[in-house]
Amino acid sequence: MSSLTYHHNPNGVTYVYRQESYWDKAKKRPSSRQVCVGKLDANGQIIYNQRFKNPEAREALERGETVAEALLIGQSLVLAKATKDTGLERVLLRHFESREANALLSLSWAMAAGRGEMDLANIWLEENDCPAHKESLSSYDLSRILASASQSQIDDFLGEWTKRQRKGSPELDCYDLTLASSNDPSNPFEDWGDNHDKEDLSRINMALLVGLTSRVPTYYALRSEKMSDAETIASFIKGLKKYKAERVRVLLDYGFYSAANISLMLEADIGFCVPAPTTAIWPGEMIDKYREAVEMPEHMFHISVDEREALYGMTVQDKIDGRRVWKHLYFDTARRVEHIASLFAALRRWEIELLSGETKEKNKWAYERYFTVKTTPKRGLKVTRKQEAINAYKSDRVGYWVILSNREKDATAALAAYRARALVESRLSDLKKDLAFSRARASGASALRGRAFAQFLALILTARIRSVMTAAWKGRMDIPKEDRLSRRYSLAEMMALLGSYRQTRFSARYGVVVSAPTKAQRSIFRAFGIAVV
């Protein structure tokens, strides 16, 4: 039997519930439950919610059929498609038992959906369709499964995953580091010190390798020692050898450049493309030697059709440790103007600080380099700019930079590839912001190891989702207007929009009812090739 009940909320809204009686097989006694069907409008009519918006669902309700299960499926449909496209589930099942693989995959789905904390993840698993939905895993169960993921299993997974990303044409990868904060100072992966968020918490060094073409993360590692960016390369090369990754080519940032690292990568036959600091000996000598030669019409180019300002670039072939390398020299007039303008603006600020007496310790070097400060009985404090130092800056190496590579022979292509490395920066941002890794709440090395692995799986999925949504946005003009994305959604926005799409399974012969998709949901499903009614 069933009946309608009305609950008057203090905010003035009256919610309508269906009181359903049923036989509890587990407790072997009659029981009842309430299911919200909607709310009353100003005229006393029921405004049905998403679950009962379909006429068929309301008909089933009026016939007295009860709801056996209501399940959210919008986010799950997209996550399942991303899982299938990347082949992630197949690789997981080859290295983990079925239950553990399903739990890890489901947890990565919850993280990708914005539910990274354990107490939120288990609720997401209970409410959403996913491989571990029927397991009814608690936050304790999830933590235990994460801690049980051994390093050898993770290594085997990464070995196969890295090889999988290497199939076909050689991939160009971006490599970088990020720091996450933790509240567990006892964790052996962590070092105390200032993190990027300027908090007095222990920190976790995490290295990440992201494919430039596939846009998919291929490798990660937690660093158990306090290393500088340059010191991680040796460990990185050792990891690649362990995974037997072949034909690796990496894009590195300034912080990874050192003569020792260059020698290591040349010896390991790893392709690289890395900016060399102009303060180093040979890049500075190269700028001084070729500064006039590079500023010639034959060396002028545009990195993209959208850029109005021209760049200049030339290449010099050379050898390091007996191996061939290409040194690419660039000059940017716009960058030179910007740097000089920035210096002039800073000079005004520093002069005001000196005159007011409100000097800053961090600017002490600037005061000494660019100003003469005198105090006399008659004139008091007098601050004079050192014009020679300013002229030296203007005539120095501002606007010039050098990229070193042992694979890329063309200056234009090398610069285009390096600029594209911003991709890995965005992936690291995803990891910390969208995937809640800026606070790695895990107690002990095994728990942190498992959590980092689940975060990596989630990062693979979100990378695939972002790539599909980016392609859909770029190609929106090629599809009918009613099917287009209305705007470029962020990951969080997209997941929020999909959160209301559900299926309801009724008792008796009625079966399953799926809610009608909104316009935004339909356009997102279409972008992923997911068919909905």
* Between 202 and 135, the higher pLDDT residue: 135
Burial of 454 (0-12, 13-18, 19+ CB in 10 A): buried
User: 439: pLDDT confidence band, cut at 50, 70 and 90?
Assistant: very low
pLDDT at 195: 42
Q: Is the pLDDT of residue 490 over 80?
A: yes
Q: Is the pLDDT of residue 180 over 80?
A: no
pLDDT at 198: 44
Q: Is the pLDDT of residue 192 over 50?
A: no
Q: Which domains does the chain have, with CATH numbers?
A: 2-73+501-527 (no CATH), 153-276+315-326+403-444 (3.90.350.10)
In tens, the pLDDT along 370-403 reads 999 998 877 788 899 999 888 887 777 788 999 9
Please give the Cα distance from 223 to 238 (Å, whole number).
13
Q: What percent of the chain has pLDDT over 70?
A: 75
pLDDT at 21: 64
> Which range has the worst mean pLDDT, 195-204, 299-308, 504-513?
195-204
As a whole number, the mean pLDDT across the chain is 80
> Which range has the worst mean pLDDT, 21-30, 76-85, 204-213, 457-466?
21-30
Confirm whether pTM is higher than 0.75: no
Cα radius of gyration rounded to whole Å, the chain: 30
SS3 404: strand
Q: Is the pLDDT of residue 509 over 60?
A: no
Average pLDDT score over residue span 409-436: 71
User: 26: pLDDT confidence band, cut at 50, 70 and 90?
Assistant: low
Taking the CB of residue 74, how many other CB atoms lie within 10 A of it?
A: 28
pLDDT at 202: 47
Q: Token digits for 163?
A: 């090889």
Question: How open is the CA angle 29-35-37, to the nearest 5 degrees?
Answer: 150
Question: 5: which strand partners?
Answer: 17
Contact 207, 180 (CB under 8 A): no
